[in-house]
Amino acid sequence: MLFERLTVDGRVVHYAAAGDEHAPQTLVLIHGFPLGVRMWEPQLTRLGLLLNEPAAASRWRLLAPSLPGYDGSDSVAQPSMDDYASHVLAFLDHQGVATAVVAGLSMGGYVAFALLRQAARRVTGLVLADTRSGVDSEQGRAGRHRMIEMVTAGGARAAADDLIPKLVGPTTMGTRPDVIAALRQMIEAQPPAAIVDSTRAMLARQDAGPLLPSLRLPALVLVGEEDTMTPPEESERISAALPGATLVRVPRAGHMSNMENSEPFNDAVRGFLQRIAG
For residue range 157-182, list pLDDT tens digits in order.
999 999 999 999 999 999 999 999 99
What integer pLDDT is reported at residue 57 of this predicted model? 65
pTM for the whole structure:
0.96
What integer pLDDT is reported at residue 182 of this predicted model? 97
For the stretch 79-130, pLDDT in tens is 999 999 999 999 999 999 999 999 999 999 999 999 999 999 999 999 999 9
Strand partners, 128: 104, 221
- Give Cα separations from 47 to 37, 56, 154, 207, 270 (angstroms): 15, 12, 36, 31, 7
What integer pLDDT is reported at residue 22 of this predicted model? 87
Determine the number of helices (DSSP H) and then strands (DSSP E) in the chain.
11, 8
Q: What's the rounded Cα separation, in Å, for the pair 256 and 5?
A: 26
Cβ neighbors of 233 (< 8 A, separation 6 or more) are none
Tell me the three state secondary structure of residue 120. helix
What integer pLDDT is reported at residue 276 of this predicted model? 87
| Dihedral angle of Cα 175, 177, 183, 187, to the nearest 10 degrees | 140
Q: What's the rounded Cα separation, in Å, for the pair 66 and 84?
A: 10
What integer pLDDT is reported at residue 44 of this predicted model? 94
133, 237 Cβ separation under 8 angstroms: yes
Residue type at position 112: A
49-53, 65-69, 99-103, 125-129: least confident range: 49-53
What integer pLDDT is reported at residue 140 of this predicted model? 95
pLDDT at 78 over 90: no
What integer pLDDT is reported at residue 277 of this predicted model? 82
Q: What's the rounded Cα separation, in Å, for the pair 54 and 110?
A: 35
What integer pLDDT is reported at residue 63 of this predicted model? 97
Domains of the chain plus CATH, in order, are 4-135+204-277 (3.40.50.1820)
CA within 13 Å, CB half, 241:
17
